[in-house]
Amino acid sequence: MTDNEPSKVAADEVAHMKWWGWGDPEVSFAHNDKPQLRGFIQKHIDVDVALPGVAPLSIDDLQIAPSVVPAALRKQLEGVVGVENVRDDKLERVMHAYGKSLRDIVRLRRGDAGRTPDAVLYPASEAEVEDLLRIALDADAVLIPFGGGSNISGSLEAERSETRPVLSLDMGRMNRLLDIDAPANLARIEAGALGPDLEKQLNNRGWTIGHFPDSFNHSTLGGWIATRSSGMQSDKYGDIADITRGLRVVTPKGVVAIKPFPSTSTGPSVREMVLGSEGRLGIITEATVQVHRIPEKREIQAYLFPSFAQGVRAMNEIASSDAAPSVTRISDANETQFSFATKKESSRVDQLKSDAMKMFLEKRKNYDVTKMCLSFIGYEGTPENVKRQKKLVGDIVSSYSGIGIGSSPGQLYDQKKFDTPYIRDFLLDRGVFADVSETATSWSRLVPLYEGVVKRANAAYDELGTKGWIMCHLSHSYHSGACLYFTFAFKPVDGRDELEQYDMVKHAIQQGFIDLNGTLSHHHAVGVEHKPWLEQDISPAGVAIMRTLLDGVDEKRNLNPGKIVD
Amino acid sequence: MTDNEPSKVAADEVAHMKWWGWGDPEVSFAHNDKPQLRGFIQKHIDVDVALPGVAPLSIDDLQIAPSVVPAALRKQLEGVVGVENVRDDKLERVMHAYGKSLRDIVRLRRGDAGRTPDAVLYPASEAEVEDLLRIALDADAVLIPFGGGSNISGSLEAERSETRPVLSLDMGRMNRLLDIDAPANLARIEAGALGPDLEKQLNNRGWTIGHFPDSFNHSTLGGWIATRSSGMQSDKYGDIADITRGLRVVTPKGVVAIKPFPSTSTGPSVREMVLGSEGRLGIITEATVQVHRIPEKREIQAYLFPSFAQGVRAMNEIASSDAAPSVTRISDANETQFSFATKKESSRVDQLKSDAMKMFLEKRKNYDVTKMCLSFIGYEGTPENVKRQKKLVGDIVSSYSGIGIGSSPGQLYDQKKFDTPYIRDFLLDRGVFADVSETATSWSRLVPLYEGVVKRANAAYDELGTKGWIMCHLSHSYHSGACLYFTFAFKPVDGRDELEQYDMVKHAIQQGFIDLNGTLSHHHAVGVEHKPWLEQDISPAGVAIMRTLLDGVDEKRNLNPGKIVD
């Protein structure tokens, strides 16, 4: 039993993204301040983004079915969380219907909100979550936990055929840093805390969690754990699976309480069963996570490499070296060109510098500047250690014909890193489908996988008869391999269902991952999107074992059914 | 399907420990060459080890029940592995009856070989293991996988009440390094490889696994994985759970094949379900593990601290620093005194040096030399990095009133580290019960746990009315905490069952771990010994979830039943 006071945050104070798209309702992407972008998109996707786009839809255009929560059940739920924390207005139901995948947003634009939840519940404490779970099981209702709603693997939507009451459990009120154990470098935090909330509470006391996924502003600790998240500084701080030591989870078997040991040999790891469980075992209410003192110095340096293969070899060697960078990232040539194309208007001086750099690269370094690759490497720690690491990395970079180009591009990247997802809605307004797919594999298989996946995506575009784009970066390094993160975009052709075309491209990429020795997802989880590849990834017997666990704990399919395995 | 050739190793070539005790049949512990040891033991446990001991028993003194393998089943088993690889002679059956816990050895000395397996099988390939599992399930027989047999938690013994045929599956023939993927730093190795076998095969090609548990010489890769092993260089290389990336496991659901990804988000981790599963999900046949190039330089430095608490604080700070030592170890005052008492005869010069050191510590550093604590810290890497780390650590050590005493004690420790377990049989010959118990907890709870456990052990000795000994070292450091490793010894009193007295002391220590916020075991697994504390460790709901998994996969209790959970 936890002794936390119930949260005093009101449901109305819980932040949500645009119901129809990504991110902060006040923020959107614009191309006008990026002089090269229009031409770039025109050239590569054959779309003129200066032409007026289609405005996102109005909530009035959506038809959703009436809520099927029986009055008696509703009364019970209200008895637990209070009338004001059981919501069933249209906006609340639609906001909790999906995550934020391309498919989700396209479906909403088509007026299809799927099997919208019948009610959204906002609990204030673990005790309330326990009561809600018991009531849901007794009433044979479906419970779907909801964090920031940023998932793009279909982990948040109810099954279309579901006839039982569907309850979305929004954890947003439970967002407190409960306790820091300073000598142990551990912080106990409620699962519903959004990235900025928890990081600010930690920063105020001199600490950081060091977990910064692209979704950081709109995802929660519980969501990170439930989907095995990874962040852009995971090279140093570890993935969420490493960071998470203790857990409290409300399950049909009772409250699972995993103590925050640094390591233990208590049989198969229940901690690692909860990680990635996407609500199928229960509701995560709090976690005890590793935290670190805010480093004295932090910087991100930019480098250029003559090719992606050379850059990847450098990252491989850096990962085995005594340097331990916080970020290791290298973009392929396409993503490098895209980065340059999103630059804002540059001054005359900057333009001259840039011209001089181009000349230097071509004449003195023999670069083909259309093939060069931009890399960011991050360093943290004492000034001496940052200096030492930079030296070690610098030597490795040089030995692969790379060159350092200073810290300004890295600063820009660091400031803008959470803005990129906004471009998707901008493109969608203009009829362009853009999405991401990521994988991980061992160092020896990385470049063949990369080349093969690009080839397969382009083959899919060819088959559709459209001009498509695919770009990639290596986003995290490990001792034995790395994560590759692909972004793809194309304009669906007329006369054929657009989502069917999206499926074709996405399928080509995912099947490429599997066929070329990658995993189906490094940190976006399984949900429903990646289910078709699970047996090919962890083997049919692996899936059978996972099913034994999930179905055994949730015998009547009340906990986010249909996710991970059928 | 794996394409490995079957092993050509014969069953007779598989190394086994003494059937009646620890280690190499040719090696034993002697006190004569350690002039201070006799007095030390006399003083602290009230036993004169110079008096003649009881010789270990003869195999003829053991009575075991006849094998209950029906002829038809035997024929099937022989059909798979060959007649020569189905053994049921007394020695083979007794060698596979237990692990090597104090309880196991005492029971053998009492002529009690428990529910000895009816036959020992030596498969040569995964295909053979698959056939054996199928046959065992069809015949409703029990299968218990056996690696090096070093387990001390009761993971290897059949349930006493078992009436079905019990088959011990000795994996010793499957001991090959199959493949090294150099850029990926990964090696594929068969599960039956003993520590020295696999390390030698790796060393020959310039690599190391970096996994050195105390049992290294007598334990296997599969055993390490099945029990969540940790080694003395795990600070740098990680626990076996980190090292193990890929797995192949023969289960009732088929062969689980986990690919060696550096990280993945494919739902609850099946890899982490196999880790620590002690044969309850199936038989591990091979693993793909992280390996490292043999470091250029490797050294272990010794330090002294005025107290255990000061030393632990230093380790805590070292773990958060930029130094990343391969070994962090500090003994309490008792273990420090024990270390000094096991020193061999020293030369006159050494004696003078030692006297000078004592005077320096007492007069100049204000040490109480009876309370001082010996610490070993290991460094690996390039000479520059070893130097840098030593400097960082040295500064921290000084700030906690510690002092460096050079590399000679560390060299000795490094050479002798696998010899300590031999002392147990030597003591047992002389009527002394000695055993180990280990735990892990967060930094903030380490010293109170340490002090509380010592108090509880001493209270148990007092209650028994015997003079007992308990000593401890911190053996591994993590970001958030560390492992504490206790060794205890006492002479049971007359007129009361000796194992009952052992249980009383062991129970006091284990319950101390739980009550004082530690885990039931950091790396010795659950087996049957630690089952009583599992619910108090991972919570009743955690056990229920684990049971759902284990019982769901092994519905008829054929796979090492009774281990981890009932």
Beta strand segments in B414-564, E: 433-442, 468-477, 481-490
Contact yes or no for B263 and A483 at CB 8 A: yes
Q: Are A374 and A270 in a shared domain?
A: no
Residue of A nearest to B523 (CA): A265
Q: Where are the alpha helices (DSSP H) in B82-162?
A: 90-95, 102-109, 126-138
DSSP string for residues in A24-43: -TT----STT-TTHHHHHHH
Give the residue numbers of B marked as catalytic: 485
Residue of B nearest to A278 (CA): B267
Q: Are A107 and A245 in a shared domain?
A: yes
CATH number of the structural domain spanning residue B284: 3.30.465.10
Q: Measure in Å the smallest separation between the Cα of B326 and chain A Cα atoms.
A: 13
Q: How far apart are CA A39 and CA A21, in angstroms?
A: 25
Residue of B nearest to A258 (CA): B538
Contact A541/B at CB under 8 A: yes
Partners of residue A406 on adjacent β-strands: A302
Q: Are A377 and A491 in a shared domain?
A: no
Nearest to B230 by CA among B217, B215, B218: B215
- Residue A111 belongs to some domain of the structure: yes
Q: Which of B243, B271, B293 is the last residue of a domain?
A: B293
> Which helix (H) or strand (E) covers residue B232, if one does?
none
Query: What percent of chain A clears pLDDT 90, i.e. is strictly above it?
Result: 90
CATH number of the structural domain spanning residue A437: 3.30.300.330
Residue of B nearest to A273 (CA): B268
The pLDDT, as a whole number, for residue B1 is 59
Please say whether the beta carbons of B172 and B285 come within 8 A: no
- Residue A335 belongs to some domain of the structure: yes
Q: What count of other Cβ atoms lies within 10 Å of the Cβ of residue A297?
A: 13
Residue of B nearest to A244 (CA): B480
Nearest to A270 by CA among B243, B228, B268: B268
The pLDDT, as a whole number, for residue B331 is 97
Q: Are A343 and A224 in a shared domain?
A: no
Contact A531/B at CB under 8 A: no
- Residue A20 belongs to some domain of the structure: no
- Active-site residue, from A379, A413, A485, A502: A485
Contact A310/B at CB under 8 A: no
Q: How far is CA A176 from the centre of its chain?
A: 22
> Of the candidates B479, B523, B550, which has its C-beta nearest A290's C-beta?
B479
- Cα–Cα distance list, B129 to B126, B132, B437 (Å): 5, 5, 33
Q: Are A447 and A558 in a shared domain?
A: no
Q: How far apart are CA A554 and CA B81, in angstroms?
A: 41
Nearest to B485 by CA among B417, B551, B531, B549: B417
> Of the candidates A265, A275, A523, which has its C-beta nearest B268's C-beta?
A275
Contact yes or no for B264 and A181 at CB 8 A: no
The pLDDT, as a whole number, for residue A1 is 60
- Kindly list the residues from chain B whose CB atom is less than 8 angstroms away from the CB atom of residue A316: 183
How buried is A306 (Cβ within 10 angstroms: 0-12 exposed, 13-18 middle, 19+ buried)?
A: buried
Contact B291/A at CB under 8 A: no
CA-atom Rg of chain B in angstroms: 24
Residue A227: pLDDT band with limits 50, 70, 90: very high
- Kindly list the residues from chain B whose CB atom is less than 8 angstroms away from the CB atom of residue A322: 381-382, 385
Nearest to A36 by CA among A436, A260, A279, A351: A351
CATH number of the structural domain spanning residue B332: 3.40.462.40
- Residue B342 belongs to some domain of the structure: yes
Beta strand segments in B89-212, E: 119-121, 142-146, 166-170, 177-181, 186-190, 207-208
Q: Measure in Å the smallest separation between the Cα of A293 and chain B Cα atoms.
A: 9
The pLDDT, as a whole number, for residue B206 is 97
Q: Are A349 and A441 in a shared domain?
A: no
Residue of A nearest to B522 (CA): A264
Contact A134/B at CB under 8 A: no
Q: Could you tell me the two tokens for A33? A: 């301040």
**Mean pLDDT of all residues in A359-381:** 92
- Kindly list the residues from chain A whose CB atom is less than 8 angstroms away from the CB atom of residue B480: 184-186, 245, 260, 262, 290
Q: Which of B248, B276, B293 is the last residue of a domain?
A: B293
Nearest to B392 by CA among B382, B405, B381, B379: B379
Q: Are A353 and A289 in a shared domain?
A: no
Q: Measure in Å the smallest separation between the Cα of B515 and chain A Cα atoms.
A: 12
Please give the backbone phi and psi of residue B202, each rounded to the nearest 5 degrees, phi first: -70, -45
Cα dihedral: A408, A411, A417, A419 (round 10): -80
Contacts A–B by Cβ distance under 8 A: 312
The label of the residue with tokens 């380790």 reads B315
Q: Which of residues 249-278 of A touch B (CB under 8 A)?
A: 249, 251, 253-270, 272-278
**Mean pLDDT of all residues in A167-184:** 98
Q: Are A444 and A307 in a shared domain?
A: no
Contact B544/A at CB under 8 A: yes
Q: Which of B235, B263, B328, B379 best tests the A interface by mutation, with the highest count of A CBs <10 A?
A: B263
The pLDDT, as a whole number, for residue B187 is 98
Q: Measure in Å the smallest separation between the Cα of B480 and chain A Cα atoms.
A: 5
Residue of B nearest to A384 (CA): B322
How do residues A10-37 score in pLDDT, each as one tens digit? Answer: 999 999 999 999 999 999 999 998 999 9
> Of the candidates B290, B385, B537, which has its C-beta nearest A479's C-beta?
B290
Residues of chain B with pLDDT under 70: 1
Q: Are B365 and B412 in a shared domain?
A: yes
Contact B531/A at CB under 8 A: no
Question: Which structural domain, as residue segments, surrounds residue B312?
Answer: 297-417
Contact yes or no for B268 and A267 at CB 8 A: no
- Kindly list the residues from chain A whose CB atom is less than 8 angstroms away from the CB atom of residue B540: 253-254
Q: Which of A480, A524, A530 best tests the B interface by mutation, with the highest count of B CBs <10 A?
A: A480
- pLDDT, averaged across chain A: 95
Please say whether the beta carbons of A423 and A328 come within 8 A: no
Return the higher-pLDDT residue of B349 and A85. Answer: A85
Q: Which of residues 400-459 of B touch A (CB under 8 A)?
A: 440-445
Sheet containing B373-381: order of strands? B403-406, B297-305, B373-381, B327-331, B468-477, B481-490, B433-442
Q: Are A195 and A68 in a shared domain?
A: yes
- Residue B468 belongs to some domain of the structure: no
Contact yes or no for A522 and B263 at CB 8 A: yes
Contact B521/A at CB under 8 A: yes
Contact yes or no for B267 and A276 at CB 8 A: yes
Q: Are B276 and B337 in a shared domain?
A: no
Q: How far apart are CA B334 and CA B371, in angstroms?
A: 8
- Residue A188 belongs to some domain of the structure: yes
> Which three-class secondary structure state does DSSP give residue A378?
strand
The pLDDT, as a whole number, for residue B37 is 94
> Of the candidates B182, B526, B545, which has its C-beta nearest A253's C-beta?
B545
Residue of A nearest to B525 (CA): A265
Contact B525/A at CB under 8 A: yes
- Residue A5 belongs to some domain of the structure: no
Q: What count of other Cβ atoms lies within 10 Å of the Cβ of residue B412?
A: 15
- Kindly list the residues from chain B whose CB atom is less than 8 angstroms away from the CB atom of residue A185: 320, 443, 479-480
Asked about A450 being catalytic, the answer comes back as: no
**A67: which DSSP letter?**
P
What's the total number of domains in chain B? 2
ipTM above 0.85, yes or no: yes
Please say whether the beta carbons of B489 and B469 come within 8 A: yes
The label of the residue with tokens 């890399």 reads A375
**Mean pLDDT of all residues in A66-79:** 97
Q: What number of helices (H) and strands (E) belong to chain B?
A: 20, 18
Contact yes or no for A256 and B538 at CB 8 A: yes
Q: Measure in Å the smallest separation between the Cα of B375 and chain A Cα atoms.
A: 20
Partners of residue B470 on adjacent β-strands: B488
Q: Where are the alpha helices (DSSP H) in A465-563?
A: 498-515, 534-538, 540-553
- Kindly list the residues from chain A whose CB atom is less than 8 angstroms away from the CB atom of residue B275: 268-269
How do residues A308-358 score in pLDDT, each as one tens digit? Answer: 999 999 999 999 999 999 999 999 999 999 999 998 887 787 887 888 888
Contact yes or no for A267 and B517 at CB 8 A: no
Contact A520/B at CB under 8 A: yes
DSSP string for residues in A210-235: ----TTGGG-BHHHHHHHT---TTHH
**Mean pLDDT of all residues in A240-254:** 98
- Residue A52 belongs to some domain of the structure: no
Q: Which of residues 8-47 of A touch B (CB under 8 A)?
A: none
Q: Could you tell me the two tokens for A401? A: 């014909």
Please say whether the beta carbons of B549 and B272 come within 8 A: no
Q: Are A85 and A213 in a shared domain?
A: yes
Contact yes or no for B545 and A270 at CB 8 A: yes
> Which helix (H) or strand (E) covers residue A119, if one does?
strand A119-121
**Mean pLDDT of all residues in A59-69:** 94
Going by their DSSP bridges, the two strands A433-442 and A481-490 should be labelled as antiparallel
pLDDT at A412 over 80: no
- Kindly list the residues from chain B whose CB atom is less than 8 angstroms away from the CB atom of residue A265: 227-230, 276, 519, 521-526
**Mean pLDDT of all residues in A139-157:** 98
The pLDDT, as a whole number, for residue B275 is 98
Beta strand segments in A372-519, E: 373-381, 403-406, 433-442, 468-477, 481-490
